[in-house]
Amino acid sequence: MRLLRNLLRTPEGAVGFGLLAVLALVALFAPVLSPGDPLRIAGRALTAPFTDPAFPLGTDRLGRDVLAGIVHGARTSLLVGLAAACAALAVGLCVGLAAGFAGGIVDEALMRVVDAFQIVPSFLLALAFVSVIGASVPVVVLAIALGAWADPARLTRAQVLSVRERDYVASARVVGMHPVEIALREILPNVLPPVLALSAIIVAAAILTEAALSFLGLGDPNIVTWGSMIAEGRNVLRSSPFLSVFPGIALVVTVVGVYLLSEGLGKALAHRGGGA
Candidates 3.30.365.10, 1.10.3720.10, 3.90.1660.10, 3.40.50.300; CATH matching 23-275: 1.10.3720.10
pLDDT digits (tens, 9 = 90+) for 16-64: 999 999 999 999 999 998 888 899 998 899 999 999 999 999 999 999 9
DSSP 219: S
63-67, 94-98, 172-176, 225-229, range with the lowest pLDDT: 172-176
pLDDT digits (tens, 9 = 90+) for 196-237: 878 888 898 999 999 999 999 888 888 899 999 999 898 888
Q: Which of 214, 61, 210 is nearest to 147 (CA)?
A: 210
Percent of the chain exceeding pLDDT 70 equals: 97
CA distance 186 to 168: 8
Asked if 198 and 151 count as a contact pair (C-beta separation under 8 A), the reply is: yes
Delimit the domains of the chain by residue range: 23-275
pTM (two decimals): 0.86
Cβ atoms < 10 Å from Cβ of 139: 18
Q: Which of 225, 207, 99 is nearest to 160 (CA)?
A: 99
Cβ atoms < 10 Å from Cβ of 91: 17
The sign of the dihedral angle between the CA atoms of 147, 192, 18, 27 is positive
CA distance 31 to 67: 12
Amino acid (one-letter) located at 208: L
Helix (H, G, I), strand (E, B) or coil at 158: helix
pLDDT of residue 92: 93
Cβ atoms < 10 Å from Cβ of 3: 14
CA distance 114 to 80: 23
